[in-house]
Amino acid sequence: MTTEYVHGYSEKEGGRLVDQATTLTELLHYDTVYPAGSLVLEAGCGVGAQTITLARKSPGAAFVSVDISPASLAQATERVGAAGLTNVTFRQGDIFSLPFPPAHFDHVFVCFVLEHLADPGKAMVHLGRVLKSGGSITVIEGDHGSAYFHPESVPARRAVQCLVDLQRQAGGDALIGRRLYPLLVAAGVREVRVSPRMVYVDASRPALVEGFIRKTFTAMVEGAGAEAIRRNMIDAESWGKGIRDLERTAERDGTFCYTFFKAVGVK
């Protein structure tokens, strides 16, 4: 992972990811519950945004949460400690050379990680190696191409496209959600089932207007502005208009759609 643009590496981004998990927790994670006594690998835990939810929902399971960044692990450790959770162990490590023996884990969980990798299929193979036969693997990713809104806006679309292009230049794929199925199948995962989790927001859902349109999606796009302008992908004025148009969708007559993809399969 030699990417310049990776979520969770700045403090503001860290805050956003936690906001996102708080708002979307039920939508993304309600059906992820591990049996008591099982050992679960969370690969690429970042600042622990998902770790707290995972560990709370499966209090009898033991989690080993791995990330390549010591700084992220430090934040994650603090957050999980503050939440009073004792069933998580953190460990520094790289998905492509995991510090565990083969078939070590009962289950594997990966969330918002594959989008950043140049070879997500290879990552899946490495994750499969440390998973027991018959164990489950759960992958959750977004897809920025799934975002659309009312009022429609060309500058807003351009701003989102900058995010997709930045991710691609960094070796990742911001449109990975839609291709989880073929990715997992090609990596040898069996019985793959993908369930899209669509976030639909209108004025009748004020918590999502604030928590998703403003604090999650627009904040994420906004965070890429300096880099997009620096790389001449877009000029500052167009960028500003794009962000204002995204914010505009949070008004009384606006709507917003985004879809996360959750794939579950078996080794």
Binding residues for its own copies, rule: CB under 8 A, are 143, 145-146, 148-150, 152, 175, 178-179, 181-182, 185-186, 192-196, 198, 200, 202-204, 252-255, 257, 259
Through-space distance between the first and last CA atoms of the chain, rounded to whole angstroms: 25
Q: Give 38 or 146: the residue with its C-beta nearer to its own copies.
A: 146
Smallest separation (angstroms) from its own copies to the CB of 175: 6
Q: 212: which residues sit within 8 A by CB, 6+ positions away?
A: 23, 24, 199, 201, 256, 258
Largest CA distance in the chain: 55
In the complex, least distance from residue 74 CB atom to its own copies, rounded to whole angstroms: 37
Polymer length in residues for the chain:
267
Nearer to its own copies, 87 or 161 (CB): 161
Alpha carbon distance 173, 142 (integer Å):
10
Q: CA-to-CA distance for 248 and 63, rounded, in angstroms?
A: 41
Closer residue to its own copies, CB minimum distance, 74 or 175 = 175
Distance in angstroms (rounded) separating the CA atoms of residues 257 and 264:
23
Question: Whose Cβ is closer to its own copies: residue 202's or residue 247's?
Answer: 202
The answer for residues whose C-beta is within 8 angstroms of residue 72's C-beta and 6 or more apart is 8, 9, 14, 45, 46, 47, 48
- Compute the distance between CA of residue 77 and CA of residue 55 in angstroms, rounded to an integer: 13
We find the least distance from the C-beta atom of residue 203 to its own copies, in angstroms, to be 7
DSSP letter assigned to residue 34: P
Smallest distance, its own copies to C-beta of residue 180, A: 8
Q: At its nearest, how many Å lie between its own copies and the CB of residue 41?
A: 25
Residue 114 near residue 139 (C-beta atoms within 8 A) = yes
The smaller minimum CB distance to its own copies, of residues 33 and 198, is found at 198
Nearer to its own copies among residue 118 and residue 198 (C-beta): 198
> DSSP label at 59?
T
Least spacing, CB of residue 181 vs its own copies, in Å? 4
